[in-house]
Structure 1
Amino acid sequence: MSIGAGQTRFRWIFAAALVAGASYFAVTRTGVDGAALIAWKGAGVGLLALWAALNARSRDGWLIAAVLALGALGDVLLAAAGLTVGALAFLAGHVVAAMLYFRNRARSWWMMLPAVVLVPLVAVVIAPTPDAGIALYATGLGAMAGAALIGRFPRIVGIGAMLFVLSDWLIFAETGALAGSPLPGLLIWPLYFAGQAMITGGLIGFLAGEGAHTSQ
């Protein structure tokens, strides 16, 4: 996976995060459970957050580190405390991410259209029933993804955000349109973690390259 044009530090942590995320999915297929598995679940995105923090040289770098830390917290809380509590951590992360992407938006007005369209679209698709909590979460998710698509960051960041959206849609579809289907169980974690890794690698690499350019 490309991690941008810039020279990033501690790349072994990024590699360790990929191993943790992939191995967690493999272990869940064996039926292992308990506190160790919950910690393992948080390790993948937690290591991405650590890598982002160690490479942070600007406000944007610290913002993406905060987004990932909230994502890791959400991963743990989903397993330890349930969907509602975990979703609150993810929603906070979506709000911070949307702020990050929007403050780095492209200047062309027509590039704002994806964000304008995605926010209500994601809310309607993920929350087709009038559930205020799900609708609020879906709105935050749509704002994050829409803002990612209009940012100045590499395309891989926007693609990663859309994989995150697809993963969350599968979570809600698991109790609805895809109830009884094996697809959610097979795809939710790979799509989610791949999305987080793509966002992190693309954004941190870009910021590192930008930092090196401005320091010359």
Structure 2
Amino acid sequence: MPHRALSQKRPYLVLSVLAALAYFYLQATNLPGLYLIPIKGSAVAFLALYAWMRHGSRDARMLTAALVFASLGDMAIELDLIAGAVGFVGFHIIALLMFLRHKREALEGRDSVMFIALLLGTPFVAYLLPYDPDMKPLVALYALPLGAMAAGAWASDFPQMRVAAGAILFVISDWLIFAEMGPLSGSPIPQYLVWPIYYLGIFLITIGVITTLRKRDPELRVVKGGAD
């Protein structure tokens, strides 16, 4: 029996990618910003639906909640930077709690160095990037849970090439936002790179976590009403 098309098996995943691409390209048009906000938010909102429908575990529910916060942050940041940051902090905290439920026994060598670099280096670099001294402590404060989330992803037993890599991309996208307040002020680099790097990061986290959960707990992998 041939496999069903991706759009039939994982429609929310396909819709998420389409929304992410639509937002990226529509930014260059004359479409009013208010119309772009729900398109932007729907990209991660569809990932949340994907996580909810693909597995029935507590971890999948936690990931879904984290993604809902990220989606709200995506939309809120277009109106207010602080409101957007609050949404993303919600993502970082819930994702970190989920990663802590799957932490590896011990970290050694390169893994321990990378863990410390993400945990401490993320807020340190964030602090250095803005030129405005009043912004430095604010972005560093935000970057504390960001770094903890990324370090937690690295220390978890989820696949590093997906989940930890996705968390690192999330960090890089936020660094680019902070750099726009400093050395990249006036540069088109953040405008073109922040969204694709961020979306790819959160996409990899979602796919990596859900795929792993489905392999470990196959009896919970199909939620009633979902497509397998």
Q: Same fold (TM over 0.5)?
A: yes
Aligned-partner residue type, residue 142 of structure 1: G
- From the CA coordinates, give the structure whose radius of gyration is larger: 2
Partner residue in 2 for 1:35: 34
Q: Residue 102 of structure 1 contacts residue 151 of structure 1 at CA under 8 Å; is this kept in 2?
A: yes
1:214 and 1:167 map into 2 onto residues whose CA distance is 33
1:125 and 1:37 map into 2 onto residues whose CA distance is 30
Q: Residue 10 of structure 1 contacts residue 51 of structure 1 at CA under 8 Å; is this kept in 2?
A: no
Q: Residue 139 of structure 2 contacts residue 178 of structure 2 at CA under 8 Å; is this kept in 1?
A: no
**Given the alignment, which residue of 200, 206, 209 partners 1:200?**
206
- Deviation readout 1:137-179 (Å, 9 max, x if unpaired): 1011000001101111112111111111000000010110111
Note if 1:134 corresponds to 2:139: yes
Secondary structure in structure 2 of the residue aligned to 1:99? helix
**Given the alignment, which residue of 150, 157, 161 partners 2:155?**
150
**Given the alignment, which residue of 180, 190, 194 partners 1:184?**
190
Secondary structure in structure 2 of the residue aligned to 1:22? helix
Deviation at 1:35, TM superposition (A): 2.6
Deviation at 1:43, TM superposition (A): 0.6
Note if 1:98 corresponds to 2:104: no
- Deviation readout 1:8-51 (Å, 9 max, x if unpaired): x9511111101111111010111322332110010100100111
Greater relative CO, 1 or 2 (CA 8 Å, sep 6+): 1
Q: Which sits farther off after the overlay, 116-125 or 168-177? A: 116-125
Aligned-partner residue type, residue 63 of structure 2: I
Show structure 2 runs of 5+ residues with no match.
1-7, 222-228
Partner residue in 2 for 1:3: none
1:37 and 1:213 map into 2 onto residues whose CA distance is 39
1:160 and 1:109 map into 2 onto residues whose CA distance is 19
Cα pair distance change 1:116/1:103, threshold 3 Å: farther
**Given the alignment, which residue of 70, 84, 87 partners 2:85?**
87
Partner residue in 2 for 1:160: 166
Q: Which sits farther off after the overlay, 17-26 or 101-110? A: 101-110
Q: Residue 53 of structure 1 contacts residue 62 of structure 1 at CA under 8 Å; is this kept in 2?
A: yes
* TM-score relative to the length of structure 2: 0.85
- Deviation readout 1:169-213 (Å, 9 max, x if unpaired): 000101101112111111000000111111111111111111117
Secondary structure in structure 2 of the residue aligned to 1:127? helix
Aligned-partner residue type, residue 143 of structure 2: A
Cα pair distance change 1:83/1:98, threshold 3 Å: same
* TM-score relative to the length of structure 1: 0.89
Aligned-partner residue type, residue 34 of structure 1: G
Q: How does 1:66-77 map to 2 (within 5 A)?
A: 66-77=65-76
Aligned-partner residue type, residue 198 of structure 1: L
Q: Residue 93 of structure 2 contacts residue 145 of structure 2 at CA under 8 Å; is this kept in 1?
A: yes
Q: Residue 55 of structure 2 contacts residue 220 of structure 2 at CA under 8 Å; is this kept in 1?
A: no
Aligned-partner residue type, residue 88 of structure 2: F
Q: Give % identity.
A: 36
Note if 1:115 corresponds to 2:115: yes
2:124 and 2:37 map into 1 onto residues whose CA distance is 31
Q: Which sits farther off after the overlay, 108-117 or 133-142? A: 108-117
2:220 and 2:213 map into 1 onto residues whose CA distance is 10
